[in-house]
A and B are shown apart, each in its own frame.
Chain A
Amino acid sequence: MNITRRGLLAGFTAVALNAALGLAPAHAQTTAELAAAAQKEGKLVIYGVTDNEQANHLIREFRSMYPAINIEYSNMSTTELYNRFISETAAGSSADVTWSSAMDLQIKLVNDGYAQPHKSAETAKLPEWANWKNEAFGTTYEPIGFVYNKRLIPAADVPQTHADFIKLLSTQTDKFKGKVNTYDPEKSGVGFMLVTQDKQVNAAGFADLQKALGAVQVKVQASTGTMMERIASGENLIGYNLNAAYALTRAQKDPSIGIVMPKDYTLVLSRVMFIARKAKNPNAAKLWLDFVLSKKGQEIIANKADLYAIRPDVEGETTASGLRKQLGDALRPVAINTGLLTYLDQAKRLEFLKQWNSAVKGK
């Protein structure tokens, strides 16, 4: 045991205070206490990769509940977020909360000791795979699928499984030559993570998948926006491993975009949030995390932010429970744990990329 005198003193004071105020010496702070401490901090700094417009739905609601807390939300890319967070932390302190879809980088940060734990009634609601040591939390449930051009691919040809997709590419190779796109695993961390998950989940079919993508000379891109723009215009016909949450937003405005979540297996990503160990506003950070995971927060994520809610007790089409009704056991959420760190090892990563390039690009 390593209890300092100051720690002991603080402990006694807290007990004395609790006793004086007639409160139970609870381990977890109640929401009211947390809210009071957070409002005293008055500020919260969040670094996130979620678009401002989507994040604003959450921020507005949070602000209306706790008007005393000012939120500074900075939107950046996953790499930028990682860069800024580690360099600023090295220089003193950085954001209170980070929120990123680069699950592997988030876990790396948490594993490297950049996070602090938080346990509450809301975090308890998360599925086991989405809570790592009470430090890293999955906040969304975003299915990955095929996105295709409805004008140019006849309904009968639209693939429903990975096997269908491979068959389509290998039987209509001429039609699809140069017209299939996917993430460039060398440029996109998320894209890399998805193909390595493919390899893990579907080890038997992975070589065929690479062969099919290679045969049609798949076009690789660094961003989802570019891939969807190319598919909508017909420059490309179908995209592999696109985030269905993003595609759904676009499909609402653009009738040429179609989305399939494969029936054999559908990978699911989750935006990972954690509270910085050196957070200047730890209480506001905890309050925010609880809010995002709360039923209200999750409903906003599902219905307004066009992401998918992860909390099992939130209902609707764009929620984990809605997807379960549709796809059942085919859902394969990427678990939030140190398994994600495998390919951050330089040698393993380069070896995978080399194999990918020789199989898909013929290099």
Chain B
Amino acid sequence: MLQTLPRRAVVALLALSVFFPLGLVIYQSVLSGPFFMPAAALSLESYAFIVDDPDFWQAARNTIAVAVGMGVIAIPLGAILAFIMVRTDLPGRKWLEMPIMIPIFVSPVVLGFGYVVSLGPVGFFSVWFAEIFGSVPWNIYSLTSIIIIAGLTHVPHVYLYSSSALRNLGSDVEEAARLTGASPFRVARDVSIPMVSPALLYVGVLVFFLGFEIFGLPLILGDPEGHLVLTTYLYKLTNKLGTPSYHLMAAVATCIIAVTFPLVLLQRALLKTAQRFVAMKGKSARQRPLALGPWKWLALALILAWLFVTVVVPVAGIALRSVVSSWGQGVNLLEVLTLDHFHGKR
């Protein structure tokens, strides 16, 4: 009894802190003005407004494209990355563990700025690339770029889940496959990855969920050409009518919740299924790394290429920008080097 009382109190508090703001958002979405103003009345005009707004539908389509695209890119790459890191004798595995997680720690807004400075129309890399090859084949402000970058920066999320699932599995089945002549690629495809598929499914839902709520990247990269997603559309609504439109924003937020809340439930259901299906739990005694043979250099090159695009390019852009007073077309970077930004001068 003494034990259940505090537990119940915690559950009640938690429920209150989650459902109260959620309820307030939904309540606000069916009002005609800010909830704290006496003039606000019950009304569905906010939904009528957004359903009538072509921007909302564009944002909804783009959001689905981003969420699906992120999954398509991040899930296979993350799974392969986990297999290589956990199961094989890849050279330099210990050294790679940290850099792989960087995209999780760097704010998407910072990454977005980094990409503009590096790969934008007059970015550092773009200018160098154009000097060598004549022109730049990519457009950092396109929806495709946003999807690719979002996908690549979410590889670590998938890696995190699938690698821990892999670590919990014994390696005897893989060794058997390898002994009978299967290539490391075949082992990954037909043995290891299917064995962690419940974890992959689980993280797949998570990635889709994150794709629905992605904000920083499309805010910065989608702005110049007007590619909206639901969250940036929400942001745009703050100013569209001149005064902040609480009811419209709440209506969009309710639409987002309507999609993400079932996803949370789906994840919970998946977790239960996953626990039912994985036969061997706990740390397996025998885990011997698979010999990659000559494939190891290809594997290493792939990981380094991914790290280059997702971490080195944007972070180098930000770092370079921090030590120059100006940049871009026709600027000799050596002439504009400065440390002023670190001295609090503008």
B238 at interface by CB-CB < 8 Å: yes
A: number of interface residues (CB 8 Å): 41
With A186-B240, A188-B239 already in contact, the answer to whether A151 and B325 are too (CB < 8 A) is no
Interface pair B328/A254, CB less than 8 Å apart:
no
Shortest CB-to-CB span from A225 to chain B, Å, is: 11
The interface on chain B, measured as residues whose beta carbon lies within 8 A of the other chain's beta carbons, has a size of 29
**What is the distance, in angstroms, from B231's C-beta to the closest C-beta of chain A?**
14
**Chain B residues near A104 (CB-CB < 8 A):** 242
Contact assessment for B330 and A221 in the assembled complex, using a CB-CB cutoff below 8 Å:
no
Chain B contacts with A in 214-239, Cβ cutoff 8 A: 223-226, 235-236, 238-239
- How distant is the Cα of A328 from the Cα of B328 in the complex, in angstroms? 36
Distance between Cα atoms of A350 and B53 in the complex (Å): 11
B243 partner residues in chain A, CB cutoff 8 A? 82, 105, 108, 344
Of A235, A253, A254, A353, chain B has the most CB atoms within 10 Å of the CB of: A235
Q: Please, how many angstroms separate the alpha-carbon atoms of A23 and B240 in the complex?
A: 54
Q: Within A223-265, which residues are at the interface with B (CB < 8 Å)?
A: 226, 232-235, 249, 253-256
CA distance A104 to B36 in the complex (A): 22
**Which partner residue on chain B sits nearest A179 by CB separation?**
B121
Q: Which residues of A19-60 have CB atoms within 8 Å of chain B's CB atoms? A: 53
The B interface, classified by DSSP as helix, strand, loop or mixed, is: loop
Q: Does A220 contact B (CB under 8 A)?
A: yes
CA distance A192 to B236 in the complex (A): 13
A174→B230 CA distance, assembly (Å): 34
A232 to B327, Cβ gap below 8 A?
A: yes
- The answer on a CB contact under 8 Å between B244 and A82 is yes
Q: Are A189 and B328 within 8 A (Cβ)?
A: no
Contacts between chains A and B (CB distance < 8 A), count: 87
A152 interface residue, CB < 8 Å from B? yes
Q: A90 in the interface, Cβ–Cβ < 8 Å? A: yes
Asked whether A256 and B36 contact (CB < 8 A) given A105-B243, A219-B224, the answer is: no
Residues on A with beta carbons closer than 8 Å to the beta carbon of B326: 232-233, 254-256
Which residue of chain B has its CB nearest to the CB of A87?
B36
Contact with B along A326-363 (1 / 0, CB 8 A): 00000000000000000110100110010000000101
Residues of A within 8 A of B329 (CB): 151-152, 233-235
Cα A53 to Cα B344 in complex, Å, equals: 10
Which residues of A lie under 8 Å from residue B34 when comparing CB positions? 86-87, 90
Query: Is A83 part of the binding interface, using a Cβ–Cβ cutoff of 8 Å?
Result: yes
Q: Residue B98 at the A interface, CB < 8 A?
A: no
| 20 A-B interface contacts by CB (under 8 A) | A53-B346, A82-B243, A86-B36, A86-B37, A87-B36, A90-B36, A186-B236, A187-B236, A187-B239, A188-B239, A189-B239, A192-B242, A226-B223, A232-B327, A235-B328, A235-B329, A256-B326, A346-B241, A349-B240, A363-B54
Given contacts A90-B37, A187-B236, A233-B327, 4 further A-B contacts (CB under 8 A): A79-B244, A83-B244, A86-B36, A344-B241
